[in-house]
A and B are shown apart, each in its own frame.
Chain A
Amino acid sequence: ELKVEQNPLFLSMQEGKNYTIYCNYSTTSDRLYWYRQDPGKSLESLFVLLSNGAVKQEGRLMASLDTKARLSTLHITAAVHDLSATYFCAVDKDSNYQLIWGAGTKLIIKP
């Protein structure tokens, strides 16, 4: 059974700091997704990582994928308050759009 674990589950940090969210998964997969969710809102797609060594960056967020270690990271650089949200990683079981989700990391960035 595919399991996806995120850590930390909660992160409070100051603006301007850097931090990393980790996403481990238990079986091989070649698709990993990162999403952002604001309170009461839907899921916003951030990144899709499709191959080992893939790295994608958008603004202050950078995601990477190591399929051999079954690990993805979401790195936040010089955090700003607007990045406060819950971040989810999800792994596509069998590459058929059956996403298995991590529990989410609630990120609070204090001004």
Chain B
Amino acid sequence: KAGVTQTPRYLIKTRGQQVTLSCSPISGHRSVSWYQQTPGQGLQFLFEYFSETQRNKGNFPGRFSGRQFSNSRSEMNVSTLELGDSALYLCASSLAAGGAGTEAFFGQGTRLTVV
């Protein structure tokens, strides 16, 4: 069973540019969440999508956006990149059902470096 796939794995961008990250969840999973991990702030929730709808959004500026497609794949976009956006971006997928379906599985992450 394939796991959560994130592409690209590594990315270097210049300040002011924009970037799009992709996440393919485990087959059958309908919930995709995104997190930012930095040494200073730790793990922070960005947003969560279920059936193409954003259900929750964390405390991030509007430069951070996302979407989910009908096949549950998700993308997140960061516009006007700042140095502070350098981080490991992780996505997690879940069945979004009760019991064992609650478990959230993470991809390998995309390491974004803004120079």
- How many chain-A residues does the 8 Å CB contact rule pick out? 23
- State whether A41 and B108 are in contact (beta carbons under 8 Å apart), knowing that A97-B33, A97-B48 are contacts in the complex: yes
Interchain nearest-CB distance for B105 vs A (Å): 6
Q: Which residue of A lies closest to B55 (CB)?
A: A96
- State whether A43 and B58 are in contact (beta carbons under 8 Å apart), knowing that A50-B99, A88-B43, A98-B33 are contacts in the complex: no
- A98 contacts B56, C-beta separation under 8 Å: yes
Q: Which residues of B contact A63 (CB under 8 A)?
A: none
Point out which of B33, B45, B50 has the most chain A C-beta atoms below 10 A from its C-beta: B45
Which of A31, A33, A99, A103 contacts B35 (CB under 8 A)? Answer: A99
Which of A33, A41, A50, A88 contacts B104 (CB under 8 A)? Answer: A33
Task: Mark B24-62 against chain A: 1 for CB-CB distance below 8 A, else 0.
Answer: 000000010101000000111100101000011010000
Question: With A and B bound together, what is the CA distance between A41 and B59 in angstroms?
Answer: 25
- State whether A97 and B104 are in contact (beta carbons under 8 Å apart), knowing that A50-B99, A90-B43, A104-B42 are contacts in the complex: yes
Looking at chain B's contact residues, is the secondary structure mostly helix, strand, loop, or mixed? strand
- A96 contacts B48, C-beta separation under 8 Å: yes
Question: With A and B bound together, what is the CA distance between A38 and B114 in angstroms?
Answer: 24
Task: Mark B56-91 against chain A: 1 for CB-CB distance below 8 A, else 0.
Answer: 101000000000000000000000000000000010
Q: Which residues of B contact A90 (CB under 8 A)?
A: 43
- How many chain-B residues does the 8 Å CB contact rule pick out? 26
B96 within 8 A of A: yes
In the A-B complex, the 10 residue pairs with the closest CB atoms = A101-B43, A43-B106, A98-B56, A42-B108, A42-B106, A97-B48, A48-B103, A97-B33, A98-B45, A42-B109
Q: Can you spell out 28 A-B residue pairs with CB atoms less than 8 angstroms apart?
A: A41-B108, A42-B90, A42-B107, A42-B108, A42-B109, A44-B106, A45-B103, A45-B106, A48-B100, A48-B103, A50-B102, A88-B43, A90-B43, A92-B102, A96-B55, A97-B48, A97-B50, A97-B55, A97-B56, A97-B96, A97-B104, A98-B33, A98-B45, A98-B48, A99-B35, A100-B45, A101-B35, A104-B42
